[in-house]
Homo-oligomer: A and B are copies of this chain.
Amino acid sequence: MTDVNTLGEFGLIERLTNAFPITQPSTLKGVGDDAAVIDNDGFCTVVSTDMLVEGIHFDLAYTPLKHLGYKAVVVNLSDIYAMNACPRQITVSLAISGKYSVEALDELYAGIRAACETYAVDLVGGDTTSSPRGMIISVTAIGQGERQRLSYRSGARVGDLICISGDLGAAYLGLQLLEREKRIWLEHPDLQPNLEDQKYIVGRHLKPEARRDMIEAFRQNDLVPTAMIDISDGLSSDLFHICKQSNVGALIEESGVPIHPDAQLMALQFKLDPITCALNGGEDYELLFTIDPKDTDKVRFLPDIYIAGEILAAADGVKLNTKGGNLHDLKAQGWRHF
């Protein structure tokens, strides 16, 4: 009997899926990227799926159901954009215990609908069932992309520039703040938390957005990232995915990693190093991508893009150059919360 924790998330996925061969000519990409890619003669269907479990991925003590519905969709769309593709449809499957009223589900679906409207995707199917405890939401996003313009995790080459589409660490610090306020509230139910001053970081956790605008900007500027992934596990972990699949190393400049001032301040309140939150926090849903250096000018004129480092040879490892000039090895971390 082997405890699943001994393998970790990525090890477990690899063990469970590596015996599956690809046999269908239409399967261009199977397990191992942000999304699977299915060929339809030129235009490709891109498919991604995520499962959100109450008590693991969300806590309804501080997550409004409408936000939860919105986020459940957005995190999947983010995976489609991370392929440089455009989401078109979603399916939503839901398992719920008897404690949820119809009105509560209306709220959840209002959030799902808001995301469908914002990102112009259609809800086309799903499943609704009961669960012995809590809520589980499984969303599958289906997108479309030109075969020639898709960005895989495996395309980074030595010398490519590493870019980030926005600030990191805020979603993690928003979650820490919500967890702290929940603990205080459980001990002192008369104290109402005031989160007004922390709208930015709380919003980054509760209502993330996917970078549809980036994919549109890439198209307008005729840019195809050599590799791309969305930052869901943290910059460090997601950079490792690119490095592993591209068989390269990387150097990240601490000074190139964008951190919002509110996140900086909250990190200090929690006695955390802001760069650690940015590297390992996760759930920011920004895009991490690499570009050929000849495309530097295309990126320079786009808003919100930060050049954070460079792709190195695999032998050079995956490293952070701190503001103090020290080189640190970065570490990949999936969850280990079984």
Whether B124 contacts A91 by the Cβ 8 Å rule is: no
Flag if A123 contacts B45 (CB, 8 Å).
no
Whether the Cβ atoms of A47 and B133 lie closer than 8 Å is no
Q: Is the CB of A120 within 8 A of B23?
A: yes
- Determine if A16 and B49 form an interchain contact, defined as CB atoms under 8 angstroms apart: no
Residues of the B chain whose Cβ atoms lie less than 8 Å from the Cβ of A122: 20-24, 27, 30
Docked Cα-Cα span, A36 to B89, in Å, equals: 9
Least distance between A334 CB and chain B CB atoms (Å)? 10
How far apart sit A45 and B124, CA to CA, in the bound complex (Å)?
12
Interface residue stretch chosen among A103-111, A208-216, A296-304? A103-111
Contact B101 A20 (CB under 8 A): no
Counting chain A residues whose Cβ lies within 8 A of the other chain, the interface size class is 35 or more
Total identical chains: 2
| Interface status of A55 (Cβ within 8 A of chain B) | yes
- A29:B132 contact, CB within 8 angstroms: no
Say yes or no: B24 contacts A109, CB within 8 Å.
no
A48 partner residues in chain B, CB cutoff 8 A: 125
Contact of A53 among B7, B89, B130 (CB under 8 A): B130
Contacts from A to B (Cβ < 8 Å): 1-7, 9, 12-13, 15-17, 19-24, 26-27, 29-31, 35-36, 38, 40-41, 43, 45, 47-51, 53-57, 88-89, 91, 93-98, 100-103, 105-106, 109, 113, 116, 120-134, 136, 138, 140, 142, 144, 335, 337-338
The 6 A-B residue pairs whose C-beta atoms are closest, nearest first, are A36-B124, A138-B138, A2-B102, A40-B40, A30-B124, A51-B93
